[in-house]
């Protein structure tokens, strides 16, 4: 497939790398433990449909999304694996859950009643998993209410309680105390069920960080996202498996020039060339999601100090605050402020760079412009290209 007419910027996703990462995770999670592949948020920016198809081929037991709309999108693309919707749903979502055969999460008593009403009207069956609040402080029934909600679910014909789960808030921390406390609370609920002879087939708790660090929490199934996409939940976790990154943002050099020493670069003149500097202009900027990292409240004093140090370096015109752009001949740093659609890279020491040279640009994959073309590689070649232009969206709306 020819990708030369895609334009000067695009995303590449290597599906073989996702397969490779899956196999690595399977080394840590042997059968009979089931694996749920998390494909929420467009598979963390990799394309939910494309990733789901690959995971289905690999024999994934279940897929996970946050919203019923995400589940519906997968079904409409022909995905047949069980799909667990993590997020709470609304009354008006019930028909979609039934019609698209989605597995719903029960996090309160109202949602049981909504499903009951929907099933009475439409017939059919719905599989559900009960979510238990153990410390995330987000969604789920309180542990002491679990038995009661379970009996309410059992009383509804057509409703099948397939699973029970909870979600860890701090499994990526080095200090595992809170995660262990969450596990103990969950385990206590499971023990109570066993005492009442209630058997729920799939009990699950572990996310990526727990898969790496807390193997005793694997239970009947693990839910992995981050690891599949080649990232470690936190830099300090021991890298028990060697993962690869399937995602990259590409751009062609569209302009090259040499600036004399002392010349400034970009808006606000935040960078001044210390020596004669060869500058490559790349056609990517804020609008594409470049350098739009979310500003978070510092987690601790060290985090705060690092943030301040970065700001000081930035103020002094140090380009080291961003990760390097990778060219065939080496690495270059972004200099000056990133513009709306253009950015500048210092390539003074690199050889062989011309207009048209393809660079790999650092960016946050879940924050980039969703209309960038995506090239999917599989078995070493281009398998498909996804182009979502604003024009297509407009046309779809106009047709409706």
Ligand X SMILES: *Cc1c(COP(=O)(O)O)cnc(C)c1O
Choice between 156 and 221, CB closer to ligand X = 221
- Tell me the three state secondary structure of residue 323: coil
Applying CB under 6 A, the span of 120-128, 217-225, 286-294, 364-372 interacting with ligand X comes to 217-225
Residue 165 C-beta: closest distance to ligand X, Å: 7
233 touches ligand X by CB under 6 A: yes
Instruction: Record the tokens describing residue 91, joined without a space.
Output: 């009354």
Closest CA to 209 of 251, 241, 246, 163: 241
138 is in an annotated binding site: yes
Residue 223 C-beta: closest distance to ligand X, Å: 4
Strands 358-361 and 247-252: antiparallel
208 touches ligand X by CB under 6 A: yes
182 touches ligand X by CB under 6 A: no
Cα-based distances in Å from 4 to 68, 154, 317, 385: 37, 57, 36, 12
Choice between 225 and 285, CB closer to ligand X = 225
225 touches ligand X by CB under 6 A: yes
207 touches ligand X by CB under 6 A: yes
Q: Which residue is nearest to ligand X (CB)?
A: 225
Residue 229 C-beta: closest distance to ligand X, Å: 8
Among 9, 19, 72, 167, binds ligand X (CB under 6 A): 167
Rounded to the nearest 5°, which phi and psi values hold at 382? -70, 120
- The answer to whether 375 touches 10, Cβ cutoff 8 Å, is yes
- Contact pattern from residue 109 through residue 148 relative to ligand X, giving x for each residue in contact according to CB under 6 A and a dash for the rest: ----------------------------------------
CA 325-284-355 angle, to 5 degrees, is: 70
38 touches ligand X by CB under 6 A: yes
Closest CA to 64 of 222, 219, 179, 183: 222
Applying CB under 6 A, the span of 11-19, 201-209, 329-337, 343-351 interacting with ligand X comes to 201-209
Among 19, 203, 223, 250, binds ligand X (CB under 6 A): 223
203 touches ligand X by CB under 6 A: no
Order the strands of the 9-14 sheet from edge to edge: 255-259, 277-282, 343-346, 330-335, 325-327, 358-361, 247-252, 9-14, 374-378, 381-386
State the catalytic residue, choosing from 57, 267, 274, 315.
267
Residue 281 C-beta: closest distance to ligand X, Å: 35
Following DSSP, what letter does each residue of 249-313 receive, concatenated? EEEE--EEEEEPTT-EESGGG-EE-SS-EEEEEES--GGGTTT-PPP---SSHHHHHHHHHHHHH
122 is in an annotated binding site: no
- The answer to whether 368 touches 45, Cβ cutoff 8 Å, is yes
| Alpha helices, DSSP H, located in the chain | 15-28, 40-45, 48-57, 68-76, 94-99, 109-122, 146-154, 177-195, 208-213, 301-315, 390-399
Instruction: Record the tokens describing residue 212, joined without a space.
Output: 């790496």
- Tell me the three state secondary structure of residue 102: coil
Residue 169 C-beta: closest distance to ligand X, Å: 11
Name the one residue in this structure whose structure tokens are 């008593």: 109
86 touches ligand X by CB under 6 A: yes
DSSP state at residue 141: B
365 touches ligand X by CB under 6 A: no
By CB under 6 A, the residues from 265 to 324 that bind ligand X are none
Choice between 105 and 322, CB closer to ligand X = 105
Is 165 labeled as catalytic in the residue annotation? no
Among 116, 226, 248, 343, binds ligand X (CB under 6 A): 226
103 touches ligand X by CB under 6 A: no
Residue 25 C-beta: closest distance to ligand X, Å: 10
Q: How far apart are CA 4 and CA 87, in angstroms?
A: 40
Is 376 labeled as catalytic in the residue annotation? no
Residue 226 C-beta: closest distance to ligand X, Å: 3
Applying CB under 6 A, the span of 74-82, 111-119, 224-232, 287-295 interacting with ligand X comes to 224-232
19 touches ligand X by CB under 6 A: no
Choice between 171 and 253, CB closer to ligand X = 171
Q: How far apart are CA 321 and CA 318, in angstroms?
A: 7
Cα-based distances in Å from 277 to 124, 258, 271, 345, 357: 68, 5, 12, 10, 18
By CB under 6 A, the count of residues binding ligand X is 12
Give residues in contact with ligand X (CB under 6 A): 38, 40, 86, 167, 207-209, 223-226, 233
Provide the annotated active-site residues: 40, 267
Annotated binding site for substrate: 138, 340
């Amino acid at each position: 497939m020819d990708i030369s007419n895609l334009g000067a910027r695009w995303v590449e996703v290597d599906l073989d790398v996702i397969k490779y990462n899956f196999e690595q995770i399977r080394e840590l999670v042997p059968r009979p433990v089931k694996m749920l592949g998390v494909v929420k948020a467009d598979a963390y920016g990799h394309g939910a449909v494309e990733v789901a198809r690959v995971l289905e081929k690999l024999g994934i037991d279940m897929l996970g999304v946050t919203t019923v709309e995400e589940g519906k999108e997968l079904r409409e693309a022909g995905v047949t694996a069980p799909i667990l919707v993590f997020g709470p749903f609304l009354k008006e979502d019930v028909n979609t859950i039934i019609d698209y055969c989605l597995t719903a999460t029960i996090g309160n008593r109202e949602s049981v009643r909504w499903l009951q009403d929907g099933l009475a009207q439409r017939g059919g069956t719905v599989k559900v998993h009960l979510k238990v609040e153990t410390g995330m402080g987000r969604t789920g029934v309180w542990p002491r209410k679990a038995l009661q909600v379970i009996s309410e679910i059992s009383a509804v014909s057509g409703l099948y309680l397939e699973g029970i789960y909870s979600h860890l808030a701090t499994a990526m921390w080095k200090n595992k105390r809170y995660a262990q406390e969450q596990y103990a609370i969950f385990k206590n609920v499971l023990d109570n069920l066993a005492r009442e002879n209630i058997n729920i087939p799939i009990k699950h708790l572990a996310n990526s960080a727990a898969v790496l660090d807390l193997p005793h929490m694997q239970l009947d199934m693990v839910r992995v996202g981050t690891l599949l996409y080649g990232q470690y939940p936190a830099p300090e976790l021991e890298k028990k498996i060697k993962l690869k990154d399937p995602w990259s943002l590409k751009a062609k050099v569209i302009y090259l020039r040499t600036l004399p020493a002392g010349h400034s670069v970009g808006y606000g003149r935040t960078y001044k060339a210390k020596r004669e500097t060869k500058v490559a202009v790349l056609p990517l900027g804020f609008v594409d999601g470049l350098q739009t990292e979310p500003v978070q409240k510092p987690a601790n004093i060290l985090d705060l100090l690092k943030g301040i140090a970065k700001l000081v370096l930035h103020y002094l015109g140090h380009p080291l605050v961003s990760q390097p752009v990778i060219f065939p001949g080496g690495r270059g740093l972004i200099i000056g402020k990133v513009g709306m659609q253009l950015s500048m890279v210092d390539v003074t020491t690199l050889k062989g760079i011309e207009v048209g040279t393809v660079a790999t640009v650092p960016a946050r994959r879940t924050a980039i412009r969703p209309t960038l073309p995506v090239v999917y590689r599989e078995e070493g070649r281009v398998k498909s290209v996804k182009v979502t232009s604003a024009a297509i969206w407009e046309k779809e709306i106009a047709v409706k």
